[in-house]
Amino acid sequence: AKTRHFKWEVENMFWSPDCIENVVMGINGQFPGPTIGAKAGDTIVVELTNKLSTEGVVIHWHGIRQFGTPWADGTASISQCAINPGETFVYRFKVDKAGTYFYHGHYGIQRSAGLYGSLIVDVAEGEKEPFHYDGELNHLLSDWWHQSMHEQEVGLSSKPFRWIGEPQSLLINGRGQFNCSMAAQFGNSSAKQCKLRGNEQCAPQIQHVLPRRTYRLRIASITALASLNFAIGNHKLVVVEADGNYVQPFSVDDLDIYSGESYSVLLTTNKDPSKNYWISVGVRGRKPQTPQALTILNYHPSSASKLPTSPPPITPPWNDYNHSKSFSNKILALIGSPKPPKNYDRRIILLNTQNTINGYKKWAINNISLTLPATPFLGSIKYGLKNAFDQRSPPETFSNNYDVMKPPINTNSTYGSGVYMFDFNTTVDVVLQNANALSANVSEIHPWHLHGHNFWVLGYGEGKFEEQDTKKFNLKNPSIRNTVVVFPYGWTALRFVTDNPGVWAFHCHIEPHLHMGMGVVFAEGVHQIGRIPNRALACGLTASVFMNTGRN
Ligand SMILES: O=C1O[C@H]([C@@H](O)CO)C(O)=C1O
């Protein structure tokens, strides 16, 4: 195993992700940030210098569990203090599991500013994947607004509330076309045909393939809001990996991907090699106002500038949830994958609701809207600093007479920063319960992401979760993931083992929703954690501890 060293500088810079110039948060002058490639067992060292000059920064390594390094999880207020302008923080962690991962900002809504990139972990030297491929192609998917991150944030925190709206563009590897369409000549767009030379920042990255080969397509979604559908014209996709875990292979025409998820699919280049084919990405789950993102699958030796001969694949209708559910239900663990424990030690039911607090629009979990404290939980729990956050345990469930199918009768909610404290090495079941939002007949999609862990997806259901639903839990071959969707008016059940000492965020991966309070904090085994680097905790009340004792 190797140690891979990187020196990164985070800075704001002018960039044209969708052919319109904006400001993006880049790394070393690049947007998206550099792709990290590694092998399972390697140690990654990123010396991150904040060159933003007016705000702090942190980076979360999404899908990396941080066994033994909980201070490197990159969550401001949870695992570390934000890195101040001019300061450098060293992230050092092991990538123990092969898979398709990514990294992104986890402070304020910096992910919406474009602070993200890919992290790809191959199997260790001498090891083999359980499938064969000749080459691989990476697709990091995101959504993009012309309004700046700061304008978006102020809108979300204002009274009256100003919603960010739907994205202006979808980006594939940081590239989209706002004022033109690659497929305008096929008549399904009001935009004019793109006349790109190819060297523009917004020019699509053409994916080049050889005929009669098998490719591994890595697809990851780092969107701030949009749920996406990925398809390639005339080609089937065989799903083999989800969030760094192997799945029982199955074939689809298109796949839904929610923010925070990743997949690998196998593509066989067995179509007419004298043609090129569309790679398309469209919006699902919210009424779209954003055109499809397009790029081209270019078969050798066809010219890369040759457009496909037919229109791009049609994205399934945004509200065809049966299509989405059918896809989710097909995702099962590869035979031989670790199975969940048969029983759980503790079950928490988390109801998500849209609420108001003093007229501000928020999201709440069991009627508590998460606010992050000034002192990172990792330090305040370890040092027993009781003034640092709410000491009361957050509720384990919600009122039995709450009607999840109707808007809340009382929209009021409260702020909170309590922590679910779990006994070490126990089995926890979480049931995510969706509900009607503030407006009647609206319930939204929420992809939930757990830090520090993978979990088993035991099942999905409609309406309110009932005890008898546990009979339908899949304990035989549930998929293993770190992000899972909760469908409108439905519930999702998952199970995990508290085997990783640390403090871990569990939250909706929609960036504005997390910012509006849609998350909870889990902690386990914090007292077993050894020395935490001072740099991680040199803020808030933990800074005072260091000043008084001279050491951590
Ligand atoms: O959090 C959200 O707020 C808006 C809407 O509910 C109120 O404007 C929306 O679509 C969200 O997802």
Give the pairing type, strands 293-299 and 455-462. unpaired
- Classify residue 336: in a domain, yes or no: no
550 pLDDT more than 80: no
Do 390 and 494 share a domain, yes or no?
yes
- Among candidate residues 122, 144, 177, the one where a domain is terminated: 122
In this prediction, residue 187 carries a pLDDT of 78
Ligand 1 atom closest to 513 (CA): 1
In this prediction, residue 220 carries a pLDDT of 99
Do 78 and 183 share a domain, yes or no?
no
Mean pLDDT score, 374-396: 97
For residue 494, give its domain range: 346-547
Q: In terms of C-beta density within 10 A (0-12 exposed, 13-18 middle, 19 or more buried), how is residue 49 classed?
A: middle
Of all residues in the chain, what percent carry a pLDDT higher than 90?
97
Residues 52-104 have pLDDT tens digits of: 999 999 999 999 999 999 999 999 999 999 999 999 999 999 999 999 999 99
Residues 456-511 have pLDDT tens digits of: 999 999 999 999 999 999 999 999 999 999 999 999 999 999 999 999 999 999 99
CATH classification of the domain holding 467: 2.60.40.420
Under the banding of pLDDT at 50, 70 and 90, the label for residue 551 is: low
Cα four-point dihedral sign 215, 216, 221, 227: positive
Residues 339-371 have pLDDT tens digits of: 999 999 999 999 999 999 999 999 999 999 999
Listed in sequence order, the residues at least 6 apart from 43 whose beta carbon sits closer than 8 Å to its beta carbon are: 1, 2, 3, 4, 92, 93, 94, 95
ipTM of the predicted structure?
A: 0.97
CB of 444 within 6 A of ligand 1: the answer is yes
The residue whose CA is least distant from atom 3 of ligand 1 is 163
In this prediction, residue 421 carries a pLDDT of 98
Do 500 and 366 share a domain, yes or no?
yes
* Mutational pocket test of ligand 1: of 444, 446, 507, the residue with most ligand atoms within 8 Å of the beta carbon: 444
In this prediction, residue 278 carries a pLDDT of 98
Cα–Cα distance list, 81 to 274, 374, 383 (Å): 55, 8, 15
CA 167 to centroid of ligand 1, rounded, Å? 13
CB of 163 within 6 A of ligand 1: the answer is yes
CA 163 to centroid of ligand 1, rounded, Å? 6
CB of 437 within 6 A of ligand 1: the answer is yes
Q: In this structure, what are the phi and psi dihedrals at residue 380, rounded to the nearest 5 degrees?
A: -70, -30
Under the banding of pLDDT at 50, 70 and 90, the label for residue 264 is: very high
Do 471 and 539 share a domain, yes or no?
yes
In this prediction, residue 176 carries a pLDDT of 98
238 pLDDT more than 60: yes
315 pLDDT more than 90: yes
- Classify residue 129: in a domain, yes or no: no
**Rounded-to-integer distance, Cα 202 and Cα 193, Å:** 14
Do 316 and 386 share a domain, yes or no?
no
Do 406 and 460 share a domain, yes or no?
yes
Do 139 and 90 share a domain, yes or no?
no
CB of 289 within 6 A of ligand 1: the answer is no
CB of 224 within 6 A of ligand 1: the answer is no
- Classify residue 18: in a domain, yes or no: yes
CA 64 to centroid of ligand 1, rounded, Å? 30
DSSP one-letter string for 241-280: EETTEEEEEEEESEEEE-TT-EEEEEEE--S-TTSEEEEE
Under the banding of pLDDT at 50, 70 and 90, the label for residue 537 is: very high
Under the banding of pLDDT at 50, 70 and 90, the label for residue 188 is: low
CA 517 to centroid of ligand 1, rounded, Å? 13
- Classify residue 381: in a domain, yes or no: yes
Ligand 1 atom closest to 363 (CA): 1
Ligand 1 atom closest to 512 (CA): 1
CA 385 to centroid of ligand 1, rounded, Å? 36
The residue whose CA is least distant from atom 11 of ligand 1 is 163
* Mutational pocket test of ligand 1: of 112, 227, 361, 446, the residue with most ligand atoms within 8 Å of the beta carbon: 361
| Cis preceding-peptide flag for 308 (omega within 30 of 0) | no
The whole-chain average pLDDT of the chain stands at 97
CA 198 to centroid of ligand 1, rounded, Å? 37
CA 110 to centroid of ligand 1, rounded, Å? 19
Residues 433-450 have pLDDT tens digits of: 999 999 999 999 999 999
Do 85 and 149 share a domain, yes or no?
no
552 pLDDT more than 70: no
CB of 226 within 6 A of ligand 1: the answer is no
In this prediction, residue 548 carries a pLDDT of 86
What is the count of structural domains for the chain? 3
H/E stretch holding 126: none
3 pLDDT more than 90: yes
